[in-house]
Amino acid sequence: EFMSDTAEVDAEYVVDFVLASVTKPVILENIFYDFDKATLRPESEEALDRELITILNDNPNISIELASHTDFRGRDAYNQDLSQRRAQSVVDYLVQQGIAPDRVKAVGYGESVPKLITKKLASQYPQFKEGDVLSEEDQEVAHQINRRTEFQVLSITYGLY
């Protein structure tokens, strides 16, 4: 949102802003699951309605990968399966809301892709510094950061050809 001053004179304004990268994953905030479950909680559905469904409807030519990640606790195979079921539950919800099934792909990564600490996360959590990769030895907050659902654009030409 841009607001100028109230002076009634000719003026030139320059606004620089950074566009989000299409090649980097975007974390979906407020996507929650109960412990050891893959079912979306009602507040997660509300967040998906506000965020991701709006993005997909506003950009009908994109297709996305919907990825879910777990923390390091539990067996690798179990975490892989749990994350796949969680990603699929988001995809199923999107399809129920009218998103074409071939636009969304569910992928569970389990604990295999730990979160890289960004500048924003480093400012929120001073115990980490930008560029850190969260590991199994990190504390509870790291487990929370690693438990995430995100999406990444796979194609910007869906339905064009």
pLDDT along the chain (161 residues), means of 10: 74 75 84 86 92 94 95 90 96 97 96 86 87 74 83 93 81
Q: Quick one: pLDDT at residue 15?
A: 79
**pTM: predicted TM-score of the whole model, two decimal places:** 0.78
The strand order across the sheet containing 63-69 reads 26-27, 148-155, 63-69, 104-110
Element (H, E) at 130: none
Q: Which residues contact 80 (CB under 8 A, 6 or more apart)?
A: 108, 109, 110, 112
Q: Which two tokens stand for residue 146?
A: 């690693």
Residue type present at position 16:
D
Q: Quick one: pLDDT at residue 2?
A: 64
Q: Quick one: pLDDT at residue 47?
A: 92
* Nearest CA-CA partner of 62 in 159, 152, 158: 158
Q: Quick one: pLDDT at residue 78?
A: 95
